[in-house]
């Protein structure tokens, strides 16, 4: 098949979604130690869909594995209870999900999905044996796909072999005989059912006919038809054209060889020749026709007698369908006229979703960013000079509000709920707690909280890492917990919530907590301490774990402690403009807090300058801007500058000193003060001059600047304004940490 | 040229079939992701030909086929099946499906099938 990129994308995306649903169903089922009927149906459907799609993509291993799973669940769905095999079944299913996920990851990396599913398939076969209670003795081979259905079919009262249609009133003498050999397209598959379709069509016509192979349900019927064609013997008093057109119109018919037979031709099955024989007698004759035919036919013989035809049953069946159709048509139309309109409207409304490539959304967002910049280039254009331009201002105002709206929409398109990410953690906790022999309950709160798609991508690894740590190092083993008087089952709470401009994700466990002494010791050994230990708060000590090269676990386990520790967590989160902190209470547990700005790229900001440097501070952080009086500024006993605002005292940071800017205002009376709020505390900054309010597109600082990270404290990014000036964006939380 | 409705719960399959039909003279005028929606859309769009997946949530392809045949006994429905669904294909044929196609199929296959019915 011609696979274009969009199909592969759709395949991966949908398969991943199905796997996620599958995993959630499994997790839900496992807590009850079995799957209920709905869950089994759901899983069956999921693996069936994956099978079909994988086969279309020609990913054989994945299709074969899915097929095995489908067979197993068909068995369970049809009433076989796995009983004691449930735990093994869950394990196998989780392993299968992991296998699929690994293959999807390869596809995403443009690698072929070359994993070997054989070990898994063997496990499934073993399970199927257990479930079906079949130890290899005779009986339906469970992994033989057609076996269960084949059984059902041969029991069905369908008279297929040798239809001698009862047309008693036919004038026999004028009838003509024909032989038609129908070949189906190669790879059209299920040829026996295609032949069955032809039989159904002929049933509706005024002809007598017989066919070969006589038993279309026989195991090898499809293959035989594929090889030798479907042979029809027809006796008709009318024109053969009608029959020919039925054959020609049948889907996937490659060719029809139609030859008239003379009445005395030995090949004509007896039951066609006979006068008005009861059709019941026709079947064995049809089988006999198989013998008479020149072609090799081993399958048809034995089966002829078995499928004793019951033409009345078939006729009844048809009659019933026809009746249903008639009454259904009347009822259906009526309801369509009355309620149909409403119902379809609803379903259509529900379905108004399309999937769009994230790349397109990225470029859309970029363009909106550029538009914002261009807008300010136009509105603040120097060519206007001092001339009044009232109508221009009005138009500009309208443009501004439209662009704002556009921005909001673009941002909202990119928002997706945390649930996908959070649900992934369930599986992790399950697998790890089993492995480490711990009992852990994961509680998820606020998974409906929406964040930018990018945030989800970058948050995934940090979250995995923190939760791994909680399970591995945090939560104690059940016996330890019992001894400590804690409930044996540990608890991890994963919560997301909105706070103004930020999304806050907390991960808390009720485990052992961080070991302050051990952290200090390690930091000392590695020379990571930057200030005297006696001056460090507990919080500062705990947050040492985010420093590069810090890892307290000596032994390396499969899940955590691979040296690339918490500093990677911090880096990832910093990349999306967020920050992570940790708090802990010995014996009570640990809480990680991740803050991520809600909107990543466009902020409203106040522009100001210090000397020749331009800065922008996000408006959300600004409480007030003040022309300070020197009387309000004083030094505390430790020599830190403080500022009094409305009777309250706040630390004051002179940005000129902080950033080492030499051409800046130094006299308090000549500059300005801005009162800022951060997560930690409120504080003030001193600068030269306020320069108005702007909407800016936040860009990351260039990579080479990021390398000298120590000098970038207090800077969160940069923005280019309409006039081409480069502005540094103040990281208010970062600055607050410095006072 | 025929107006086609593609019914499949897997968006991937709908995209695939649509992509394949792009090279034909036919136009996909409607899609549905389960049998229930398919029946509603059938009434609304009255497509010439329907490709109908069998295994779907809410309402499966067999039930949808029967309902569509009840609405229009001359409806042309092609079942999209997979190996292992022989019994359901048989039932579909008895219920009036014009034929079936087996996954995995090729572009030529589905276009030829639709050409034939159109």
Q: A433 or A561, which is more confident?
A: A433
Q: What is the DSSP letter of A723?
A: T
Chain B residues within an 8 Å CB radius of A7: 12, 15-16, 19
Instruction: Give the pairing type, strands A726-730 and A689-697.
Output: unpaired
Rounded distance, CA A599 to CA A607, Å? 19
Query: Rounded to the nearest 5°, which phi and psi values hold at A582?
Result: -130, 145
Q: A505 or A259, which is more confident?
A: A505
Rounded distance, CA A150 to CA A159, Å? 15
Tokens representing A654 are 């002179």
Q: Which of A91, A99, A121 is nearest to A29 (CA)?
A: A91
Tell me the shortest Cα–Cα distance from B3 to chain A, in angstroms. 18
- Is B42:B71 a contact under the CB 8 Å cutoff? yes
- Classify residue A303 as exposed, middle or buried by CB count within 10 Å of its CB (0-12, 13-18, 19+): buried
Q: What is the mean pLDDT of residues A87-105?
A: 91
Q: Is A64 on the interface with B (CB under 8 A)?
A: no
Would you tell me which residues 81-110 of chain B have a C-beta closer than 8 angstroms to some C-beta of chain A?
A: 81-84, 86-87, 89-90, 93-96, 98-107, 109
Rounded distance, CA A696 to CA A730, Å? 13
Tell me the shortest Cα–Cα distance from B117 to chain A, in angstroms. 7
Tell me the shortest Cα–Cα distance from A603 to chain B, in angstroms. 37
What pLDDT was estimated at residue A285? 40
**Band of residue A491 on the pLDDT scale cut at 50, 70, 90:** very high
Rounded distance, CA A469 to CA A466, Å? 5
What pLDDT was estimated at residue A689? 93
Q: What is the mean pLDDT of residues A53-59?
A: 88
Q: A651 or A32, which is more confident?
A: A651
Q: What is the mean pLDDT of residues A263-270?
A: 78
Say yes or no to pLDDT of A330 above 60.
no
Cβ neighbours for A353, distance < 8 A, ≥ 6 positions apart: none
**Band of residue A709 on the pLDDT scale cut at 50, 70, 90:** low
Gyration radius of chain B over CA positions: 12
Task: Verify whether the Cβ–Cβ distance A196 to B56 is below 8 Å.
Answer: no
Say yes or no to pLDDT of B95 above 80.
yes
**For residue range A97-139, what is the model confidence (pLDDT) as tens digits?**
999 999 999 998 888 888 888 989 999 999 998 888 765 444 4
Q: What is the mean pLDDT of residues A248-269?
A: 83
Tokens representing A405 are 């709206």
Task: Verify whether the Cβ–Cβ distance B12 to A325 is below 8 Å.
Answer: no
**Band of residue A160 on the pLDDT scale cut at 50, 70, 90:** very low
Q: Which of A521, A723, A491, A484 is nearest to A607 (CA)?
A: A723
What pLDDT was estimated at residue B29? 93
Q: Is A25 on the interface with B (CB under 8 A)?
A: no
Q: Is B27 on the interface with A (CB under 8 A)?
A: no
Least confident of A313-322, A415-424, A525-534: A313-322
Q: A115 or A550, which is more confident?
A: A115
- Residue ranges with strand state E in A655-739: 672-677, 682-687, 689-697, 715-720, 726-730
What pLDDT was estimated at residue A275? 55
Q: What is the mean pLDDT of residues A241-246?
A: 84
**For residue range A667-698, what is the model confidence (pLDDT) as tens digits?**
999 999 999 988 778 999 999 999 888 878 77
Tell me the shortest Cα–Cα distance from A609 to chain B, in angstroms. 54
The domain spans of chain B are 1-32, 66-110
Rounded distance, CA A716 to CA A738, Å? 14
Q: Is A321 on the interface with B (CB under 8 A)?
A: yes
For chain A, report the end-to-end CA distance as a whole number of angstroms.
Answer: 64
Tokens representing A588 are 């009570």
- Is A70:A51 a contact under the CB 8 Å cutoff? yes
Would you tell me which residues 124-163 of chain A have a C-beta closer than 8 angstroms to some C-beta of chain B?
A: 145-146, 149-150, 152-153
Tell me the shortest Cα–Cα distance from B64 to chain A, in angstroms. 12
CA distances from A302 to A213, A308, A311 (A): 11, 12, 20
Say yes or no to pLDDT of A568 above 70.
yes
For chain B, report the end-to-end CA distance as a whole number of angstroms.
Answer: 7
Least confident of A506-510, A538-542, A607-611, A652-656: A538-542
How confident is the prediction for chain A on average, in pLDDT? Answer: 78
Highest averaged pLDDT of the listed ranges A130-134, A190-194, A505-509, A700-704: A505-509
Task: Verify whether the Cβ–Cβ distance A252 to B104 is below 8 Å.
Answer: no
**Which three-class secondary structure state does DSSP give residue A215?**
coil
Least confident of A296-305, A388-397, A595-604: A296-305
Q: A475 or A289, which is more confident?
A: A475
- For tokens 């068995």, the residue is A75
Q: Which of A207, A205, A195 is nearest to A164 (CA)?
A: A207
Q: How many helices (H) and strands (E) does chain A have?
A: 25, 22
Chain A residues within an 8 Å CB radius of B93: 193, 196-197, 200
Cβ neighbours for A45, distance < 8 A, ≥ 6 positions apart: B9, B55, B56, B57
Least confident of A48-57, A131-140, A511-520, A720-729: A131-140
Q: What is the mean pLDDT of residues A532-543?
A: 84
Least confident of A230-239, A432-441, A560-569: A560-569
Long-range contacts of A620-624 (CB under 8 A, 24+ apart): A620/A500, A620/A501, A621/A676, A621/A677, A621/A678, A621/A732, A622/A674, A622/A675, A622/A676, A623/A675, A623/A676, A623/A677, A623/A682, A624/A674, A624/A675
B117: closest chain A residue by CA: A249
B18: closest chain A residue by CA: A7
Interface probe for A, chosen from B82, B108, B110, B112 (most Cβ of A below 10 Å), is B82
**Band of residue A164 on the pLDDT scale cut at 50, 70, 90:** very low
**Which three-class secondary structure state does DSSP give residue A300?**
helix
Chain A residues within an 8 Å CB radius of B70: 324-325, 328-329, 331-332
Across the A:B interface, residue pairs with CB atoms under 8 Å apart total 154
Mark out the alpha helices in A470-608 (DSSP H runs).
Answer: 478-483, 516-525, 538-542, 566-575
Say yes or no to pLDDT of A314 above 70.
no
Q: What is the mean pLDDT of residues A285-311?
A: 40
* Dihedral sign, Cα of residue B2, residue A249, residue B32, residue B24: negative
Least confident of A229-233, A456-460, A575-579, B49-53: A575-579
- Is A178:A260 a contact under the CB 8 Å cutoff? yes
Q: A136 or A488, which is more confident?
A: A488
Q: Which of A8, A72, A722, A138 is nearest to A377 (CA)?
A: A722
Cβ neighbours for A179, distance < 8 A, ≥ 6 positions apart: A231, A232, A233, A234, A258, A259, A261, A267
B32: closest chain A residue by CA: A351
Say yes or no to pLDDT of A165 above 50.
no
Q: A417 or A287, which is more confident?
A: A417
Rounded distance, CA A469 to CA A592, Å? 11
- Is A561:A555 a contact under the CB 8 Å cutoff? yes
Say yes or no to pLDDT of A628 above 50.
yes
At A581, which helix (H) or strand (E)? strand A579-585
- Classify residue A625 as exposed, middle or buried by CB count within 10 Å of its CB (0-12, 13-18, 19+): middle
Interface probe for B, chosen from A326, A328, A347 (most Cβ of B below 10 Å), is A347
């Amino acid at each position: 098949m011609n696979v274009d990129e969009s199909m592969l994308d759709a395949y991966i995306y949908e398969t991943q979604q199905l796997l996620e649903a599958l995993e959630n169903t499994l997790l839900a089922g496992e807590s009850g130690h079995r799957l209920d009927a709905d869950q089994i149906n759901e899983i069956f459907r999921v693996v069936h869909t994956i099978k079909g799609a994988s086969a279309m993509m020609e990913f054989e291993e994945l299709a074969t594995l899915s097929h095995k799973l489908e067979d197993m669940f068909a068995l369970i769905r049809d009433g076989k209870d796995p009983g004691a095999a449930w735990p093994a079944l869950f394990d196998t299913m989780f392993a299968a999900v992991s296998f699929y996920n690994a293959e999807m990851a390869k596809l995403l990396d443009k690698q072929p999905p070359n994993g070997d599913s054989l070990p898994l398939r063997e496990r499934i076969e073993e399970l199927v044996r257990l479930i079906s209670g079949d130890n290899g003795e005779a009986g339906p081979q469970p992994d033989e796909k057609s076996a269960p259905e084949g059984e059902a079919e041969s029991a069905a009262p369908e008279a297929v072999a040798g239809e001698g249609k009862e047309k008693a009133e036919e004038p026999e003498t004028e009838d003509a005989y024909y032989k038609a050999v129908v070949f189906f397209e190669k790879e059209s598959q299920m040829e026996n059912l295609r032949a069955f379709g032809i039989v159904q069509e002929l049933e509706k016509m005024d002809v007598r006919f017989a066919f070969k192979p006589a038993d279309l349900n026989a195991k090898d019927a499809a293959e035989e038809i594929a090889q030798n064609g479907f042979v029809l013997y027809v006796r008709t008093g009318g024109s053969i054209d009608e029959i020919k057109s039925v054959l020609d119109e049948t889907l996937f018919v490659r060719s029809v060889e139609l030859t008239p037979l003379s009445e005395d031709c030995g090949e004509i099955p007896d039951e066609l020749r006979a006068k008005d024989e009861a059709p019941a007698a026709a079947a064995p004759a049809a089988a006999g026709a198989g013998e008479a035919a020149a072609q090799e036919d081993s399958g048809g013989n034995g089966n002829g007698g078995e499928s004793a035809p019951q033409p009345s049953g078939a006729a009844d069946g048809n009659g019933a369908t026809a009746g249903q159709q008639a009454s259904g048509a009347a009822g259906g139309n009526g309801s369509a006229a009355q309620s149909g309109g409403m119902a379809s409207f609803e379903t259509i409304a529900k379905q108004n979703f399309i999937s769009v490539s994230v790349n397109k959304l990225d470029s859309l967002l970029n363009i909106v960013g550029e538009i914002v910049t261009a807008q300010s280039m136009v509105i603040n254009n120097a060519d206007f000079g001092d001339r009044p331009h009232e109508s221009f201002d009005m138009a500009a105002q309208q443009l501004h509000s439209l662009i704002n709206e556009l921005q909001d929409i673009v941002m909202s398109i990119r928002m997706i709920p945390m649930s996908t990410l959070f649900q992934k953690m369930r599986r992790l906790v399950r697998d790890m707690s089993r492995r480490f022999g711990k009992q852990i309950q994961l509680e998820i709160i606020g998974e409906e909280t929406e964040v930018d798609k990018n945030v989800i991508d970058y948050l995934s690894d940090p979250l995995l890492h923190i939760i791994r740590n909680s399970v591995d190092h945090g939560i104690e083993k059940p016996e330890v917990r019992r001894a400590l008087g804690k409930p044996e089952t540990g608890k991890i709470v994963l919560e997301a919530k909105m706070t103004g401009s930020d999304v806050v994700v907390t991960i808390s466990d009720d485990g052992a907590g961080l070991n302050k002494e051990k952290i200090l010791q390690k930091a000392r050994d590695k020379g990571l301490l930057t200030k005297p230990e006696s001056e460090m708060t507990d919080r500062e000590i705990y947050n040492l774990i985010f420093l590069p090269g810090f890892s307290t676990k000596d032994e390396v386990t499969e899940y955590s402690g691979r040296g690339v520790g918490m500093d990677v967590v911090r880096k990832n989160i910093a990349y999306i403009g967020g920050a992570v902190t940790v708090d802990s209470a010995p014996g009570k547990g640990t809480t990680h807090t991740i803050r991520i700005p809600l909107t990543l790229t466009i902020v409203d900001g106040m522009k100001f300058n210090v000397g020749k440097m331009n800065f922008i501070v996000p408006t959300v952080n600004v409480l007030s801007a003040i022309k300070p009086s020197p009387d309000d500024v004083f030094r505390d006993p430790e020599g830190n500058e403080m500022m009094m605002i409305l009777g309250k005292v706040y630390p004051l940071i002179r940005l000129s000193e902080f950033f080492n800017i030499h051409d800046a205002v130094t006299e308090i009376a000549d500059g300005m003060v801005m009162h800022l709020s951060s997560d930690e505390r409120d504080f003030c900054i001193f600068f030269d001059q306020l320069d108005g309010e702007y909407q800016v597109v936040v860009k990351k600082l260039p990579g080479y600047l990021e390398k000298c990270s120590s000098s970038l404290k207090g800077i969160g990014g940069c923005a280019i304004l309409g006039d081409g000036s480069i502005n540094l964006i103040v990281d208010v939380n970062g600055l607050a940490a410095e006072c | 040229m025929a107006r086609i409705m593609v019914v499949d719960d897997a968006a991937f399959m709908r995209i695939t079939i649509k992509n394949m039909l792009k090279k034909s003279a036919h136009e996909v005028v409607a899609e549905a992701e389960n049998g229930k929606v398919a029946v509603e859309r059938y009434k609304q769009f009255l497509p010439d030909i329907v490709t109908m997946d069998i295994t779907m949530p809410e309402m499966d392809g067999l039930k949808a086929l029967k309902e569509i045949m009840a609405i229009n006994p001359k409806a042309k429905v092609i079942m999209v099946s997979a190996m292992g669904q022989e019994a359901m294909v048989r039932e579909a044929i008895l219920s009036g499906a014009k034929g079936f196609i087996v996954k995995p199929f090729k572009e030529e296959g589905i276009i030829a099938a639709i050409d034939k019915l159109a």
